[in-house]
Amino acid sequence: MQAKNATERFTELFSEIEHSIESEQKHEIEELNGFMEEMDRKEFESIFIEKLFNSIDKMIEEKKMPLENAILLQKHIGYCMTLKRTFNCSFSFSSLSNRIEKMIIEGNKKKDGKDEYQLVNLCECYLLNCALAPNEFPSICLPCLLKAASKKEEDDETQKEVEMALLSLSNIPYFRFDKELYLNEIKEIILNHQERHNLTRLAYQSAWQFLMNEFEYEEGLEGVIVNELHFIKEAPTEMEELSKYANWKREKKDERGKEIKEELPLIGWLGTLKCYFLSCKLWNEEFAGLIDGILRAFRAAKENYRDISYWCVCSFEEAADQNAVKGDDLLKGGSY
């Protein structure tokens, strides 16, 4: 008999989960998380449709799944959705999305007895899954997520919390708000990592992406990015480390989860570079290092990682189109 694939095992277990008691559900959700990580992008997209999110909402409504368990499941769905770089509007149009929206708004309104831990979890659920966040949500989610991302303990559980908070922040699109609401906090997170190396690679890249999302429209941030946070040195160093993983062979199914987790921050850095080149005005001889970093990532990835190769080309083209670097820098980087 042919073994069931990850989507079949997920579907079978998900259909049974509403009949389990709370403690059993937590164990089953961990199993579901494992099945999600095994799925490829197409398999994942075939499972996580509006109907599934509505089913989770119905289980909450009928008290067949405690909210805590639903949040646990939904956060991991969003985490995997981001890792696999698959984004759609299914969650946005679901009844579960409406429920979480209302809970975030109501939870934020509370003056006394505000449950900040739950608010963080709800914001992460929402931002990791939603492609169409209401305009007021960034200003609600930003303070609590930055606070969660600023934790300095280095145990595994805290590192995971920080990573989830920063990954959620990186999904916030640009919107106009007072820089004082975020700039000092995100600077401290980045500088602290440069000194202590206390973040995961994905968390560190996500912190930069959050800042870069604003830089695309706020040119005044370039001095901070270049002179205070040393982006031009940090980006190629991080890409060089991550490019080492580009030699993995795609046929190694048992390493699939590991591949995805290392691939995402490298693609993220390339996307961040593209954003930077789009708006940058300052450059010097160090820019050759950025170009060289893109080229080295491309050479390492071109056989096995089509997505990485694509983002290398996009980043390089943006640098050339915007005249972000001088001809001498391009030659130094070995682009010709």
CA of residue 86 relative to chain centroid, distance: 11
Q: What is the mean pLDDT of residues 80-96?
A: 87
Whether pLDDT at 329 is above 80: no
Query: What is d(CA 88, CA 129) in angstroms, rounded to the nearest whole number?
Result: 8
Whether pLDDT at 250 is above 60: no
pLDDT of residue 190: 96
Residue 36 is assigned to a structural domain of this protein: yes
C-beta of residue 125 within 8 angstroms of C-beta of residue 78? yes
Confidence of residue 267 (pLDDT cuts 50, 70, 90): confident
Residue 299 is assigned to a structural domain of this protein: no
Domains: count for the chain: 1
pLDDT of residue 253: 47
C-beta of residue 72 within 8 angstroms of C-beta of residue 115? no
More confident residue, 245 or 163: 163
Query: What is d(CA 123, CA 154) in angstroms, rounded to the nearest whole number?
Result: 23
Residue 71 is assigned to a structural domain of this protein: yes
pTM of the predicted structure, to 2 decimals = 0.88
The percent of residues above 70 in pLDDT, for the chain, comes to 83
Confidence of residue 77 (pLDDT cuts 50, 70, 90): very high
| Residue at 233: amino acid letter | K
Query: What is d(CA 279, CA 281) in angstroms, rounded to the nearest whole number?
Result: 7
Provide the 8-state DSSP code for 4. Answer: P
284 φψ region: left (φ > 0), alpha (ψ -120 to 50), beta (else): beta
Mean pLDDT of the chain: 84
Confidence of residue 283 (pLDDT cuts 50, 70, 90): low
Whether pLDDT at 255 is above 60: no
More confident residue, 106 or 219: 106
Whether pLDDT at 300 is above 50: yes
Token code pair at residue 166 = 């920063």
Residue entry with tokens 């559980």: 157
Residue 33 is assigned to a structural domain of this protein: yes
Angle between helices 50-61 and 67-83 (to 10 degrees): 160
pLDDT of residue 71: 95
Residue 197 is assigned to a structural domain of this protein: no
pLDDT of residue 254: 47
Between 26-30, 87-91, 169-173, 330-334, the lowest mean confidence (pLDDT) is in: 330-334
Query: What is d(CA 17, CA 37) in angstroms, rounded to the nearest whole number?
Result: 19
Q: For residue 7, what are the domain limits?
A: 1-134
Q: Is 265 exposed, middle or buried (0-12, 13-18, 19+ CB in 10 A)?
A: buried
pLDDT per residue as tens digits for the range 187-244: 999 999 999 999 999 999 999 999 888 776 676 788 888 889 999 889 989 988 888 7
Residue 12 is assigned to a structural domain of this protein: yes
Residue 146 is assigned to a structural domain of this protein: no
Residue 324 is assigned to a structural domain of this protein: no
